[in-house]
Amino acid sequence: MIVSSSELFLILRQYNPWWNQTRPSDLPAWRRAAFDELRTWISNPPAPRAVLLSGARQVGKTTLILQVIYSLLDAGVDPNSILYTTFDHPILKIVGLENVLNAWQELRPKTDGIEYLLIDEIQNVPDWQVWLKHQVDFQKARRIAVTGSSLPLVTEGLESGVGRWHTIRLSTLSFREYLQIKHIDISVPQNIARSLVPLFDATAGELLQLAEFGQGLVAHFHSYLLRGGFPQTSLTEDISTAQKLLREDIVDKVLKRDMTALFGVRRVLELEKTFVYLCMHDGGILDLAKLCENLELKKATVTKFIDYLEACNLIYKLAPYGYGKEVLRAKYKIYLADAAISGSVLLKGKSLIEDQVRLGSAVETALFKHVFTRYYQVSVGFSYWRKKDSEVDIIAEVGGDIIPFEVKYKTGPIDSRDLRGLKLLCEHKRISRGYIVTGDYSEFGRIIIKGQKSATPILKVPAPLACYLLSQSEV
């Protein structure tokens, strides 16, 4: 081993200040919505599984882990039974996980009971899936949580994780979390609905009060679309600086470092061209043949790039709704991980708000992320629906229900053309309720789509309010 156990232990002491009864002064008191779920799985797991916390770079995974550690300490857990380590550290990466654990076990004060292992950037550990499987199977006195910003989920060995770990997908900040982290007082009415569903039964007076509240969210929502939902960029006052940080610290590091280290990508320029193309078509149905033709790339190369981008949490892929061979041959819809990524990469700056096409794409991306985060733990899948020239942007399947979301972020009334996709879907499928996400508060309200066999209630709700209530109900 290139370093001794005592040298390794000195490194570990830097990452584990609670061993010396100290506490970092910069750890935020504010907590993300995922905190309670992560805390439960580490302190009192519903099943004998490890936790895999997955999310993009700079999304707040390490902060969340540290907040859980200090909540364990506050509950009386022995500090010496908790080990935090990160495999972004070059020496720890070289010596390997087992040597790190051996140094900890050898030199720490002996403790009884449960051990808590919290490991950052687990993707830098060779064969981490096999190691985690063995830990869960044979080390019953250990509670383990691992994080990864660039987990190579498309590589071999993933099947070993079935039944061995519980995955928590940490998206970028929701709109509600963005308001909280920036300490923006929005004067929430006491009787405000905590989700979208109660609005189908709300009185006209309640909808009017909610509309007045929602109109105060518009400027903040536009700022959210420009700065993005990464904590660092959210707290950066200057929008140009925030977008520069997003490009350099998040996008560039994934494309130029993680892709090479994890997947052996050498054709970085072609990867960048592919990602820029996806930014230009964010929220659109991907025509793979056209992409390959425009960029002069092979289909196999682009397909691999897209899989890698998804594994690195930079994009979401949405399949069309349905089953069978027809769906397998159909085209995917691509959403970026955050609405601000496209504008930052394409150097749109504040002009995004004046560009109705780009703004509409950013709103749709933001909405999808909120729908995904809200329903991820209970949904059997997310998709879009398309038949002939009609489309419904987003579908969440929850408890046997198909819940459609159509984005029409524009000023002015919703007309029959805007309803065509939803109407056609309601005629083909049993839909209990649906949503049209708009840009005009004068359109806020309920309508009924009548078909030959059914009548479906549809809620027209402005985008800032929709995202706020989806993130509110996530809690």
- CA pair distance 285, 163, nearest whole angstrom: 33
pTM exceeding 0.85: yes
- The reported pLDDT for the residue numbered 264 is 87
DSSP character string of 448-466: EEE-SS-EEEEEEEEHHHH
B/e letters for 110-145, b = 16+ CB within 10 Å, e = fewer, are eeeebbbbbbbbbbbbeebbebbbebbeeeeebbbb
**Per-residue pLDDT for 154 more than 50?**
no
**Per-residue pLDDT for 190 more than 60?**
yes
**pLDDT digit string, tens, across residues 23-43:** 887 888 889 999 999 999 999
- The reported pLDDT for the residue numbered 34 is 93
**Percentage above 70 pLDDT, the chain:** 95
- The reported pLDDT for the residue numbered 389 is 83
Site of tokens 């609405």: 339
**pLDDT digit string, tens, across residues 174-186:** 999 999 999 998 8
Q: 414: closest CA among 383, 433, 437?
A: 437
Q: 343: closest CA among 256, 254, 269, 233?
A: 233
**pLDDT digit string, tens, across residues 113-126:** 999 999 999 988 98
- The reported pLDDT for the residue numbered 413 is 87
Which residues, 6 or more positions from 90, have their beta carbon under 8 angstroms from its beta carbon? none
CA diameter of the chain = 76
The three-class DSSP label of residue 412 is coil
Long-range contacts, stretch 238-247, CB < 8 angstroms, 24+ apart? 239/349, 239/350, 240/349, 242/340, 243/340, 243/343, 243/344, 243/347, 243/349, 244/344, 246/338, 246/340, 246/341, 246/344, 247/344, 247/345
Q: pLDDT category, 475, cuts 50, 70, 90? A: low
Q: Name the β-bridge partners of 457.
A: 448
Q: pLDDT category, 159, cuts 50, 70, 90? A: very low
**Percentage above 90 pLDDT, the chain:** 69
**Per-residue pLDDT for 161 more than 60?**
no
- CA pair distance 3, 10, nearest whole angstrom: 11
Site of tokens 């390794």: 8
Q: What is the mean pLDDT of residues 56-79?
A: 94
* 252/85: higher pLDDT: 85
- The reported pLDDT for the residue numbered 324 is 59
- CA pair distance 440, 409, nearest whole angstrom: 8
- What would the two tokens of residue 371 be? 């729908």
Lowest mean pLDDT among 97-106, 323-332, 353-362, 421-430: 323-332
Q: CB–CB of 54/90 below 8 Å?
A: no
